[in-house]
Amino acid sequence: MTTYVVITNVWRSELAVLILGEIDMKRTSFFNAIILGILAIGVFTVGGSAQSKTIDQAVNHKIRMLTNYGVFDHITFQVSGPIVTLSGKVNSLGTKSEAEASVKRIPGVEKVINNIENLPPSPMDDAIRVKTLRTLSAGGLGGYFWETNPDVRIIVENGHVTLEGYVMNQGDLNRANILANGVSNVFSVTNNLIVGKEPYRS
């Protein structure tokens, strides 16, 4: 009888150890699963962010390389995962469609929403474009228009001028505003210039 009790107690002890061990293993597996899940989310988030940044740079490069993209065009974009939304206004022929086709070829881009507006033909607006460019250049801001992809862009629609882009200092921003307002036949000037350097531009 005594021997039976001892054996029973030993069996219970071993059973308890087995049960506790199984619980510990399950608990360890559970926490390991949580940790792996957190790490996976972290990797996904970092990877997704890195991919978005890479797409940003690629889209910016594609836009700047468009055949007729010039000083009288302005395109902006927004990247949301694999979706790229293009916005802005262009005067050059074929730029809207070329921008969409070019961005669609970027690896990782699955959809392009093209909200770019083609500016309507207007001899008056064409004259204002040329006069505004000449006025700003002659007024000491010519350095912003030297390159193929200028820092400052001039958008004209129905006599209304919008200045887009980047300048080095507040003085140049104010000067551009004053000069543009002095151009004949201009109804209004919207100054969207930003003091600083354009992102992704070396």
Residue numbers of the domain that contains 30? 1-119
| Overall domain count for the chain | 2
Domain ends where: 119, 153, 169? Answer: 119
Same domain, yes or no: 2 and 61? yes
Is 135 a member of any domain? yes
Residue 202 in domain = no
Q: For 36-56, what is each residue's pLDDT tens digit?
A: 343 343 333 334 455 667 899
Q: Do 95 and 149 lie in a common domain?
A: no
Domain edge (last residue) among 95, 119, 143 = 119
83 and 178 fall within a common domain: no
Q: Do 29 and 88 share a domain, yes or no?
A: yes
Same structural domain for residues 35 and 92?
yes
Assess whether pLDDT exceeds 90 at residue 33.
no
Q: How far is CA 60 from CA 66, 90, 164, in A?
A: 10, 16, 16
- Determine the Cα–Cα distance for residues 193 and 129; give it in Å rounded to an integer: 17
Are 163 and 184 found together in one domain?
A: yes
Within a domain: 144: yes
Give the pLDDT score at 52. Answer: 60
User: What CATH number does residue 47 fall under?
Assistant: 3.30.1340.30
Give the SS3 label for residue 49: helix
* pLDDT tens string 104-138: 999 999 999 999 999 999 999 999 999 999 999 99
For residue 82, how many other CB atoms are within 10 A of its CB? 14
Domain boundary among 65, 85, 119: 119
Q: Give the orientation angle of helix 2-64 with respect to helix 95-104, to 10 degrees.
A: 150
Q: Please give the Cα distance from 142 to 137 (Å, whole number).
A: 4
| Whether the Cβ atoms of residue 92 and residue 73 lie closer than 8 Å to each other | yes
Q: What is the CATH number of the domain that holds 180?
A: 3.30.1340
Evaluate if residue 102 carries a pLDDT over 90.
Answer: yes
Q: Write down the pLDDT at residue 198.
A: 83
Q: Rounded to whole angstroms, what are the CA distances from 121 to 70, 135, 155, 180, 198?
A: 16, 22, 13, 21, 29
